[in-house]
Structure 1
Amino acid sequence: MDPVSQAVLGASLSQSVSRNRQQIRHAFWIGALAGMAPDLDVFIRSAADPILFLEYHRQFSHSLFFIPFGALLCALVFYPFSRKALSFRQVYLYAFAGFATHGLLDACTSYGTQLFWPFSAQRVAWNTVAIVDPLFTLPVLLLVLLAFFRRKKSLARAAFVYALLYLSLGLVQKHRAEEALQALVAQRGQQAERIHVKPSFGNRHLWKLLYEYDGRYYVDAVRLLLKPVIIPGTSIPKLNVARDFPELAAGSVQANDIERFRWFSSDFLAVSPEDDRLVMDVRYSFLP
């Protein structure tokens, strides 16, 4: 998710495990900074190879197995600024709590996170919350700030519980979206080969519906209020490199880049309707 969401969730957990009222303010800033630290991988990029960024963002720094090492690096940086109030062990604990929340929160979005690197390159995406969602972020932010100023762990714990409940609601809404998609496919007399649902930016009620059938991607939307309301969309041919780019030589840099992009996008690729030289990730298109 966005850096603010990562910071406040990391702060909420580190404050929740703080030892006493005197340490809760240190736990706030340590947890917040550690909660954002995994996204330093955005600096791994190359002007000559744009796909490199996609391969390394949310990779090793977001892995569950990297948490102890990432927390240690954070603690080494933070300790000189807090050694008069905290032991190194305490700094490490708060950094660990903040760092640990990052990859799991990112996995709740649709972007994909390599939680099990280096043992698996699978991009985990639970699709339960948008990458930016003020309804998630603002209440958590308010509660951790109140915990900071009032030095009350109970407020931080309330923030963390709210975050868990909000993400759990996303699972419920995701299930409803999948049911609506399956009903839509059946109504059209089709059989979906793959389905993908995800919430739109900043809300819990409007979801994008995507499925593959007979060489095409069908993109619709659904409003999930008391009763699901389908918003009909459109369809687009699935990318076929041999058909869409017959001049592209196998093994060329461009052909390899398409395959790398295919891995990133979970093979939801198509040629842009607006530019037949552009390959797009249908999951993030503006269709319907």
Structure 2
Amino acid sequence: MDPLSQGTVGAAFAQSTGTKNNLFKIGVIGFLAGMAPDLDVLIQSSNDPILFLEYHRQFTHSLFFIPIGSLIVALFISPFMKSSMNFKTIYMASFLGYATHGLLDACTSYGTLLFWPFSDERITWNNISIVDPIFTIPALILVASAIKTRKRKFSFFAIGWIIFYLSLGFIQYDRALSAAHELAKSRGHDAERITLKPSFGNIILWKSIYKHDDNFYVDAIRTATSSTGCIGESIAEFDYELHIPRLNIDSQQAKDIERFRWFSQDYLGFDKEKNLVTDIRYSMIPNQIEPMWGLLIDENMDVSAHAIWWTGRDLDQTQLDLFKDMLSGKKCKITL
């Protein structure tokens, strides 16, 4: 999730071990430790534009790295805190803050290598958006209240809210999943693969993606008092022979596509206009296939040349209004 959410959750759990005299400092340690795993974004290469995809949410987010990562954070913070608390207290706060990070990231759809180095599977529970103010703001207020009042009960209230909201996300996911299956069934489709992810900032409007034959179907599912759908678009599954037949299969670009396939969990499409291999999971509007990122392919490039990383995250007023209408239910009226 976003850094503020990660820090807030880390602070809440760290404060659960504090006393009224050190809740602020314990909270700071937990906040910093909760954000620390995302320092892996610094692992980049000017020669390999998608190296960061392989290392973000990798070893720093693994459950097995928690003792080491939290120790590094504690050693960094200790010189600033040693006059007021011992190293054991610092390490415990750091451990709890750091431990929340990978688990919280696994709740999103991006993918987290929780079991690295024993598995390279990207864990995605899909029960919360990467950014969700409804989740973060109440937790942040409660953490701040614990500091202001010097009462640890507010930290536990924050933890309770965090667990409640994430649990509600799982319930909403199941509702959206049932609706998505009904939508596929209404089309006479046998959904070979299906995934759902909450749209930006909420757990009401979901993006549904399923595969039937050689096509992906993208729709929006709204789960409020009842489940309704916004019919979306479809796109052919990426295929070398169909989309880029002249690309040397042994080229670096082909290798980059396979790395991107792993990252996207094999939800690959192709934008012919841009000559772009896309990640179908992500779009600004949940029932559309307009990509947020992908790999630009040039079949005339040298076999040793990397594919070019492309991003497009612009959201104009028309799209924003459409998103608001879908979220409010004005556009999603097909009962499922």
Deviations 1:107-142 (A, max 9, x none): 000000000000000000000000000000000010
SS in 2 for 1:198: strand
Structure-to-structure mapping, 1:90-239, within 5 angstroms: 90-239=89-238
Aligned to 2:12: 12
Count of aligned residue pairs for this structure pair: 286
Deviations 1:64-92 (A, max 9, x none): 00000001000000000000111011100
Aligned to 1:73: 72
- 8 Å contact kept, 2:243–2:272: no
Could you tell me how far 1:268 is from its partner in structure 2? 0.3
The amino acid of 2:225's aligned partner reads: L
Could you tell me how far 1:13 is from its partner in structure 2? 0.3
Distance 1:200 1:47 in 2: 32
Distance 1:83 1:266 in 2: 45
SS in 1 for 2:206: strand
Could you tell me how far 1:48 is from its partner in structure 2? 1.7
Question: With structure 2 as the length reference, what TM-score do the two structures score?
Answer: 0.84
Could you tell me how far 1:250 is from its partner in structure 2? 1.3
- 8 Å contact kept, 2:222–2:229: yes
Could you tell me how far 1:152 is from its partner in structure 2? 1.0
Stretches of structure 1 lacking an aligned partner (at least 5 in a row): none
The amino acid of 2:9's aligned partner reads: L
The amino acid of 1:100's aligned partner reads: A
Aligned to 2:281: 283
Deviations 1:165-205 (A, max 9, x none): 00000000000000001111111111011001011011121
Structure-to-structure mapping, 1:35-54, within 5 angstroms: 35-54=34-53
Distance 1:274 1:57 in 2: 29
The amino acid of 1:231's aligned partner reads: C
Stretches of structure 2 lacking an aligned partner (at least 5 in a row): 289-336
SS in 2 for 1:131: coil
Distance 2:250 2:148 in 1: 59
Aligned to 1:244: 243
The amino acid of 2:55's aligned partner reads: Y
SS in 2 for 1:283: coil
Aligned-residue sequence identity (percent) comes to: 51
The amino acid of 1:205's aligned partner reads: I
Could you tell me how far 1:274 is from its partner in structure 2? 4.3
Could you tell me how far 1:49 is from its partner in structure 2? 1.0
- RMSD (Å) for aligned C-alpha atoms: 0.8
The amino acid of 1:209's aligned partner reads: S
Could you tell me how far 1:240 is from its partner in structure 2? 0.1
The amino acid of 1:53's aligned partner reads: F
SS in 2 for 1:120: coil
Distance 1:272 1:215 in 2: 15
- Normalized per residue, the structure richer in helix is 1
SS in 2 for 1:17: coil
Bigger shift: residues 144-153 or 62-71:
144-153
Question: With structure 1 as the length reference, what TM-score do the two structures score?
Answer: 0.98
Bigger shift: residues 126-135 or 245-254:
245-254
SS in 2 for 1:203: coil
The amino acid of 1:107's aligned partner reads: A
Matched, 1:266 2:265: yes
The amino acid of 1:281's aligned partner reads: D
Aligned to 2:2: 2
Could you tell me how far 1:273 is from its partner in structure 2? 5.4
